[in-house]
Structure 1
Amino acid sequence: MPALLAPAVADFRRRSDWFFASPFRPFFIGASLFAASAVPVWLWLYLVHPAEVAGMPALEWHAHEMVFGYLPAVMAGYLLSLAAKGARKGALSGRSLALVFFLWIAGRLLPLFVPFVFGAVIDLLFPLAVAGVLLGLSRGPGAKQSKHGLVLFPLLAAASLAHRVFAFGDGALDYEVAALLSRLGIAVGALLIGAVGGRLVPELTRLALGEEAGERVPEPYRRFDLIALLSLSAGLVAWVLMPSHPLTFVLAGMAALINLARLGRWRGFLLNDLPTLALHAGYLWLIAGLFFAALAASPASFVPADAALHALSAGAIGTMTLAVMARLTVSREQGGLAGKVVRLAIVLVHAGAILRVVAPFVLDLYRPLLVSGGTLWSAAFLVFFAVQIAPLFGGRIGVRGA
């Protein structure tokens, strides 16, 4: 019997070694599957079976899982990969990575079944563990980039716990604070897009354009980029703290205009490479979210607040995280199957985000647009999930490390 099991055990180890060989792989695969499944579950809860989930109203559970579940997983995959590159070889073992990944899974599943207090504590373990791993990696030589998450993940841990606590309550103040904390999590993701995207997007654009662009290349990182980040920070802080205040109209509107100028400096209009162009489109969603936040805060409330929130979440965060994950995980084979599938995922996620943002503008079609948008958005991540796991089943379609 042991002899018969030996090939199966060896195969399992091979697949496990591949899965945990790179920090981005388990988190990007897990986040993709989670995004593909959590939104349909929320749509079912909203349309068919309104109920409490993990001690929270269904709407708050949906917000919590997308902001404090999906987003930190993508951030962990990206930041741990950067940190591991600069650290000594073997500084992040497969076992350590597996433990952190399973803490993330526990934070998504166990709160559904255990008492509320235990679920809240379990959910804290993942961001604190990521911060601890990043701290360890940052002590090695050349690991400067690992410091990015040392503040972000403790902040997300605190906000996640507070969100669960206030979402558990049923008073008006509880609702307001829970909504504020959801906006805070989205703002962290949006600010990360502005900070990391501000270096990543022009760099990848420069590579995609090559020598054919001549002098028409993206502007290098300069003082204007710092001004754009400061304006983005001010606009997002105003939106988080006072989404209906006239000051938010001013600050978010200025941030949108300044960051629109920043995007123009990156020369995305010269591109014909969809995966790279998707990074520009993701940043454009950030700008659209700021514009919508400004218009929603205007005295006339030109835009529904829900449109601004989902332009920043489903739009900016959803499309940009997919675009970044695709660049890290899928090799650039323009004619390969992986490239075609990734292009399909990019189109689907943008279509889904557009329908979700349009929904509150057309109240008579709100539910059909909501369902259609959520379905397309989730389908994008399901398609991308399938691309990533193909090597586990013997497929070699351009996935890095296959």
Structure 2
Amino acid sequence: MNIPLNDLNAKASVKGLAIWQLGFRPFFFCASLYAVVTMLLWLGIRHGLHFPGLNYYGINLWHAHEMVFGYGLAVIAGFLLTAIKNWTGVPTASHRHLKMLVLLWLLGRVVAFVPAVPNLVIAVVDVLFGVVLTFYVAHPLVKVGNKRNYKMIVLVALFFTMNLMTHVMLLSQQPLYAMQMTGTALFLMLLLIGVMAGRVFPMFSQNGVTEHYKAKSYPWVEKLWPPVMIAFVVTINWFRLTEWGTWLLLALSLVSFGLHAARLMGWYNHQIWQKPLVWVLHVAYGFLVLGFAATAVSVFKPFGYFLALHLFTVGCLAMVTLGMMARVSFGHTGRNLHQPPQVLFWSFSLLVASTVIRVLFPAFKLMSYQAVIDLSGGLWVLAFGLFFIRYTGIWLKPRVDGQPG
């Protein structure tokens, strides 16, 4: 379902390229392309590729950092800059302001590849994007006093803070703490997914199927899951390896599993399997639920932590963001959401396969670990590559209905 625009009756005068009209266009373009590029780089690193930034980040932290603050934050930027315009009626960054934001994001990605750049410069360049993005998210919300969505300002500011602290820890020669900061940002993104899922997944599910149905919501679940999730985020990142933290994590994981499973079952209807734009969101949220189960298992079997990590990242974060980019891009360019591109089925299915292989194959030792990474990563590249090729024209061209945006 397309979110209505306040200026829906105003005819657009855009001709030619429209990529700088609204935030989702350049940021979804960049995020989906970067999903391909960064995975290819990661696979190359696993086979011996080296570049200057690895001396600063380290191999594993660079991978985690770019998936969170490179890919993930770009999708969030595109989504919020689009949604906030609808929430407030106030224009968000466009044209030269949007170009500046995208340039700051891009500089943060490429600076690590420039030889002889001091570590401090890498850090400063990378955190600038978060600072400016926080301003552009906050300005329209504060201007109209949209207090209901002030939590979005807090979350974006927290992403910036976690990135800043990641670099502070790296500059202080504390790579383990740097990884914890990045991990905290990752789980805050899952918290944001939980918030947005409660707002839009029931509506998307109800309106996206052939026969309308009523998705169920349980008030006690909606009140309980956010504080439990916040406690989970803190515990898994900062106290997981302590004796008391281990048992607290077990309890929080089991409670989270139950709460989020109840949400998912309430939204479910058998018709969703007919609509890729709907089932992708349910499958992604299902991987979140399984991630909590795997985290509980990790208390007794440590390898479960890495299974959970990829259920949360490849299965939930990547799949939700891919599904939302597909929906928002199609709807906000005036297209019929009931007739989405057929390639989406294959993109979504390839990402499901990437997740299953990345999680189950190491658990059952079905092939070598490097072969698992290569196969899962290759499927990821195909999933995002097909999506990028099909959607590039959608992002570049004006709305098909002649409206602005």
**TM-score range, shorter-chain basis?**
0.7 to 0.9
Establish whether residue 129 from structure 1 lines up as the match of residue 132 from structure 2.
Answer: yes
Write the letter of the residue equivalent to 1:265: G
> 1:320 matched to which residue of 2?
320
What SS does the aligned partner of 1:19 have? coil
CA distance, structure 2, for counterparts of residue 220 and residue 334 of structure 1: 24
CA distance, structure 2, for counterparts of residue 401 and residue 285 of structure 1: 36
- In the TM superposition, what whole-angstrom CA distance separates every residue of 1:355-383 from its partner, at most 9, and x where no partner exists? 12234324552111111101111221111
Partners of 1:25 and 1:77 within 8 A in 2: yes
* CA gap 1:120/1:14 in 2 versus in 1, 3 angstroms: farther
Structure 2 unpaired stretches of 5+: 1-13
Write the letter of the residue equivalent to 1:76: A
> 1:341 matched to which residue of 2?
343
Establish whether residue 223 from structure 1 lines up as the match of residue 226 from structure 2.
Answer: no
Write the letter of the residue equivalent to 1:240: N
What SS does the aligned partner of 1:301 have? coil
> 2:282 matched to which residue of 1?
280
CA distance, structure 1, for counterparts of residue 398 and residue 199 of structure 2: 33
> 2:252 matched to which residue of 1?
251
Count of aligned pairs: 380
- In the TM superposition, what whole-angstrom CA distance separates every residue of 1:86-120 from its partner, at most 9, and x where no partner exists? 34454533211111111111111123223210110
Establish whether residue 242 from structure 1 lines up as the match of residue 239 from structure 2.
Answer: yes
Larger RCO (CA under 8 A, 6+ residues apart) = 2
- In the TM superposition, what whole-angstrom CA distance separates every residue of 1:315-360 from its partner, at most 9, and x where no partner exists? 1101111111111012465785x52111211111111122122343
> 1:92 matched to which residue of 2?
93
* CA gap 1:252/1:282 in 2 versus in 1, 3 angstroms: same
> 2:377 matched to which residue of 1?
374
> 1:5 matched to which residue of 2?
none
Write the letter of the residue equivalent to 2:289: I
Partners of 2:353 and 2:379 within 8 A in 1: yes
> 1:329 matched to which residue of 2?
329
Answer with 160-169 or 53-62: which moved more: 160-169
Alignment of 1:16-165 (within 5 A): 16=17, 18-49=18-49, 53=53, 55-88=56-89, 90=91, 92-113=93-114, 114-141=117-144, 143=146, 147-165=150-168
Between structures 1 and 2, the one with greater helix share: 1
Establish whether residue 384 from structure 1 lines up as the match of residue 384 from structure 2.
Answer: no
> 2:359 matched to which residue of 1?
357
CA distance, structure 1, for counterparts of residue 252 and residue 193 of structure 2: 18
- In the TM superposition, what whole-angstrom CA distance separates every residue of 1:177-216 from its partner, at most 9, and x where no partner exists? 1231232011011101111111211111111246553xxx
Q: CA deviation at 1:275?
A: 1.2
Partners of 1:350 and 1:377 within 8 A in 2: no
Partners of 2:218 and 2:263 within 8 A in 1: no
Write the letter of the residue equivalent to 1:309: L
Residue identity over aligned pairs, in percent, reads: 26
Answer with 314-323 or 151-160: which moved more: 151-160
C-alpha RMSD of matched pairs (Å): 2.8
- In the TM superposition, what whole-angstrom CA distance separates every residue of 1:227-285 from its partner, at most 9, and x where no partner exists? 12333332232212223412211111211122111110112434221211111111111
Partners of 1:289 and 1:308 within 8 A in 2: yes
CA distance, structure 2, for counterparts of residue 165 and residue 350 of structure 1: 36
TM-score where L is the length of structure 1: 0.86
Write the letter of the residue equivalent to 1:102: L
CA distance, structure 1, for counterparts of residue 280 and residue 40 of structure 2: 24
* CA gap 1:393/1:161 in 2 versus in 1, 3 angstroms: closer
CA distance, structure 2, for counterparts of residue 85 and residue 70 of structure 1: 24
> 1:7 matched to which residue of 2?
none
Q: CA deviation at 1:169?
A: 6.2
CA distance, structure 1, for counterparts of residue 171 and residue 320 of structure 2: 31
- In the TM superposition, what whole-angstrom CA distance separates every residue of 1:134-177 from its partner, at most 9, and x where no partner exists? 2211133375565343112221122112223434666xxx2431
Ranges of 4+ aligned residues in structure 1 off by more than 6 Å: 392-398
Structure 1 unpaired stretches of 5+: 1-12
Partners of 1:83 and 1:144 within 8 A in 2: no
What SS does the aligned partner of 2:341 have? helix
TM-score where L is the length of structure 2: 0.85
CA distance, structure 1, for counterparts of residue 337 and residue 176 of structure 2: 47
CA distance, structure 2, for counterparts of residue 188 and residue 333 of structure 1: 32
